[in-house]
Amino acid sequence: MELYFLGTGAGMPTRGRNVTSVALNLMPERGTVWLFDAGEGTQHQMLRSPIKPGKLEFIFITHLHGDHLYGLPGLMTSRSYQGGDEPLTLFGPPGLRRFVETAFEVSGAHLDYEVRVREFEEGVVFEDEQFRVTAAKLEHRIDSYGFRIVERDTPGALDSARLTAEGFRPGPQYARLKRGETVTMPDGRTIDGRAYLGPELKGRTVAVFGDTRPCGSELELARGADVLVHEATYMHEKADNAHKYYHTTATQAAVLAAEAGVGALILTHLSSRYQDEAVHRLLEEARAIFPRSHVAEDFWSYVIPRRAE
């Protein structure tokens, strides 16, 4: 599981930072990629990255401001031309369906794959045997959401060497043993699969937030997450501006990370006023409160380790 940042700027693209988009690379876990936001130019950023549009399974839109949304029609259209024929599901606030349908109706674009649009308010927006995704409303000028992605715990590895040492040969029973079931083996012995499994692998938790100023719902979404991706549009000297325009400072994001007990904080959505040395000062501001802070750059990735590691 890896976060890959395609765009880390706020409002407008700059030479060094495109507007917002971050991919959650789940190729090892489920052979797909999830995308959070798709600002203008996201498909161009993908061309310079290892992220393949054809592998996109879900796109989550935090809110309907252009710097988080305007790249969606182009990305979806190009996906057809690049071998993407699997269904694509879009999750986002009410209005997302109208935006997508209008863009394709007016442009006459044609897609070679099924598109599913799921608009939500709050609560569980996706759940299967591997992951659960919850959304909660943040505090911004329009409805903006944060997502909490929880990977389910998985059983430990089957101790095949021990089974061999006890005289068992590989066979179809191994699949049931891996699930922790009690199995009668070909020689008549009955064994409990749980006794042959290594330590359970603890699932990881990722929190990805849209634009917001500090609010109560943030803490529950972020609590105990292995990594929190949070906007830091301003340094704290601009706290009045941040409040006025419904954004967050690096200091405020760091305070939240400390209170929530997250494993790491990644700051993104930086104002174009912060270049070069100013970015380092913004990072220092966050690390003074939460030392495990990072500032994302375009084409930078962060591998999310399992807690047991």
Q: Would you say 110 is a known binding-site residue?
A: no
Q: Rounded to a whole number, what is the distance in angstroms from the first to the last CA of the chain?
A: 13
Contact 229, 268 (CB under 8 A): yes
Q: How far, CA to CA in Å, does 99 sit from each of 65, 121, 241?
A: 11, 17, 30
Q: Categorise residue 131: left if φ over 0, alpha if ψ from -120 to 50, beta otherwise.
A: beta
- If we measure between CA atoms, which residue out of 208, 215, 259 comes closest to residue 231? 208
Query: Is 276 annotated as a binding-site member?
Result: no
The response to whether 211 counts as a known ligand-binding position is yes
- Residue 294 is assigned to a ligand binding site: no
9 pairs with which residues across the strands? 19, 270
The answer to the question of whether 63 is labelled as a binding residue is yes
Is residue 37 within 8 A of residue 58, CB to CB? The reply is: no
> What is the 8-class DSSP label of residue 9?
B
Annotation-wise, does 230 bind a ligand? no
- What sign does the dihedral 222-119-71-150 (CA atoms) show? positive
Active site residue 37: no
User: What is the full DSSP assignment across 76-99?
Assistant: HHHHHHTT--S-EEEEESTTHHHH
Tell me whether residue 247 is annotated as binding: no
Q: How far is CA 137 from the centre of its chain?
A: 17
Residue 103, judged by CB atoms within 10 A of its CB (0-12, 13-18, 19+), counts as middle
Amino acid (1-letter code) at residue 296: A
Give 111's DSSP letter: -
Of 67, 143, 226, 298, the active-site residue reads 67
Residue 23: how many other CB atoms lie within 10 Å: 24
Binding positions for Zn(2+) are 63, 65, 67-68, 140, 211, 269
Active site residues: 67
Binding residues: 63, 65, 67-68, 140, 211, 269
